[in-house]
Amino acid sequence: MPIDHTTTFPAGPDDVLGVLTDEAFLRDYAQALGARIESVDSDPADGSPRTTLQLVVPTLGIPAVFTRFVGREVAVADRRSWTADGDGGHRGVLQVETRILGRTAAVRGERRLRPTPQGTRSTVTGEAEVDAPVVGRQAEAAVRELAMVVLRREDDVLRRWLGSPD
C-alpha cells in the first residue's frame, strides 16, 4: 500500500537533518507518539548519519478487526540511514518494522530533504507491507493510515524544534 507525504520546513536541509538525527529529538518524538523507549541510537557515521529506535507503541487507533491479534502495544524497530544527495539535500532510507503473531508488518521507503527558497521540502515515499495472506491488503491499509498519523506527529515535533509555529 503506497505512502506519499510531503511537507515543508522553514530551515535548510542540513538543519532539518541535524534535528531528525538528534537523540533528544528522537526521545521527544517517541514521547509524542505515546511510545515507551527501549533504546535510542544516533550515529553520525562520517556524514552518513543513522538512527535506530526500539519502541513499544500503544495500538490505539488500530481497526477493531486487528486489535485482538495485536494486543495493547507492539514492539517497533525504526531504522533510518542518511546520505547527501549531491544537490544540497539529503536522502534517508526508512525501515520501520514490527512482528505480530510471527508476521512482519513494515513501512519501507525513503525521505528526501530538498532545499527550497523558503527552507526544505520533505517528501516521504514508500510502501506499507504486511506478511499476512488472508488479511494482508486490509492490514496494509491500516498500517498506511497509522504511518500517516506518525508522520504528521513527527512533523509537528520537528516544527517545534525548528521554532516554527505551523
pLDDT computed for residue 134 by the predictor: 63
Pairing of the two strands 73-84 and 50-58 = antiparallel
CA pair distance 35, 12, nearest whole angstrom: 29
Higher-pLDDT residue of 147 and 159 is 159
Q: Could you give the residue ranges of the DSSP H alpha helices within the chain?
A: 13-20, 23-32, 64-70, 136-162
Q: Are 121 and 6 in contact (CB under 8 A)?
A: yes
Mean pLDDT to the nearest integer, 50-58: 91
pLDDT computed for residue 108 by the predictor: 94
pLDDT computed for residue 26 by the predictor: 96
Which of these, 163, 123, 159, 149, lies nearest to 9 by C-alpha position? 159
pLDDT computed for residue 74 by the predictor: 82
Q: 5 pLDDT exceeds 90?
A: yes
pTM of this prediction exceeds 0.85: yes
Q: 32 pLDDT exceeds 80?
A: yes
Show Cβ contacts of residue 64 under 8 Å, excluding neighbours closer than 6 positions: none
Higher-pLDDT residue of 140 and 83 is 83
Q: 83 pLDDT exceeds 60?
A: yes
CA-CA distances (angstroms) from residue 90 to 54, 72, 83, 124, 151? 23, 36, 6, 12, 17
Q: What topology does CATH give the domain 2-162?
A: Alpha-D-Glucose-1,6-Bisphosphate; Chain A, domain 4 (3.30.530)
The domain ranges of the chain are: 2-162
| pLDDT averaged over every residue in the chain | 88
pLDDT computed for residue 16 by the predictor: 97
pLDDT computed for residue 104 by the predictor: 84
Mean pLDDT to the nearest integer, 96-120: 91
Mean pLDDT to the nearest integer, 29-55: 91
pLDDT computed for residue 64 by the predictor: 65
Q: 78 pLDDT exceeds 90?
A: yes
Binned at pLDDT 50, 70 and 90, residue 43 comes out as very high
